[in-house]
Structure 1
Amino acid sequence: MTSLYFVRHAHSTYTPDELGRPLSEKGFADAKTVTELLMNEGIDAVVSSPYKRAVQTVEGIANYINKEIEIIEGFKERTLTTVPAEDFTLAITKVWEDYDFSWEGGESNHVAQKRGVASTYEILDQYRGRNVVIGTHGNIMVLIMNFFDKKYDFSFWKSLDMPDIYKLTFEGTELIGVTRVWVKP
């Protein structure tokens, strides 16, 4: 069995710099809770999206197990558009209604999902039989989960907390269980 702990990043302070956007004060406080929740899970490795907010959310558990965080591009958030959407709700709803649709310069659900699932398979292969924390983002996390089980859809995404943690247990590459680890403090 391999367990992947997908960690949606904690609250961040908005800046237009997607890559460098840091956690907010609340985000840092919640990241400590993420670390506490994962301390007794026997974590073997920590990987993350390159985005600062995702790295900052999981660096506490990486420090606890005394391991470097491996940066994996495939777990970065899906690109919705090249310019900020005038109406985010409309923009995100449209891509979830049509998995092949993409806004100019953005990724369709299928394109983003393919990227995220490829990275997931690489982790399953590299860390077979181990417990791995993955620092990531809401949309790409749910798209990955949706690939393995269609019940993880747009309405599920809308119900996520920030941060949030889902443990996906695999036998080989077959998903056999999903458990929510996050408990709102």
Structure 2
Amino acid sequence: MLPDWRDHLLKTFDDLDLCLVGGESSRAAMQRGVAVVNEILLHNTKTTIIVTHGNLMTLLLKHFHQQIGFAEWQRLTNPDIYNVVIGNDYVEVKRIWQKS
């Protein structure tokens, strides 16, 4: 593990194509996650739950809401829950987990 891994993680949010040795870029990870979401959208379901780790979740949220980034990743709790509503012409992203 890199002692300054948070600095490297920050860079991957600033440069989505940055790929550290042995890893994948944020863009590649995001595309992998978005492919799953797109597959889910092909099915006639009202509600779907996607479970993932914080890094990939933050990248998925960033795909739908460009302002999401490293700061939001830093504020994640474990667990954390976001509600994403995808319509024909809109996407709504809302954090619904409240730490007690």
Please give the range of the TM-score, normalised by the shorter of the 2 chains. Answer: 0.7 to 0.9
Task: Name 2:59's counterpart in structure 1.
Answer: 143
Q: Percent identical across equivalent pairs?
A: 35
The count of corresponding residues between Structure 1 and Structure 2 is 100
CA contact (8 A) 1:167 1:178 kept: yes
Task: Name 2:30's counterpart in structure 1.
Answer: 113
Deviation beyond 4 Å, 4+ runs, structure 1? none
CA contact (8 A) 2:65 2:93 kept: no
CA shift at 1:114, angstroms? 0.6
TM-score by length of 2: 0.88
Helix, strand or coil: the match of 1:163? coil
- Select the residue among 91, 96, 100 that pairs with 1:181: 96
CA RMSD of aligned residues (A): 1.6
Task: Name 2:49's counterpart in structure 1.
Answer: 133
Task: Name 1:63's counterpart in structure 2.
Answer: none
CA shift at 1:85, angstroms? 2.2
CA shift at 1:175, angstroms? 4.2
Matched letter for residue 71 of structure 2: S
Helix, strand or coil: the match of 1:102? coil
Mapping of 1:1-185 within 5 angstroms? Answer: 84-126=1-43, 128-172=44-88, 174-185=89-100
Segments of 5+ residues of structure 2 without an aligned counterpart are none
TM-score by length of 1: 0.50
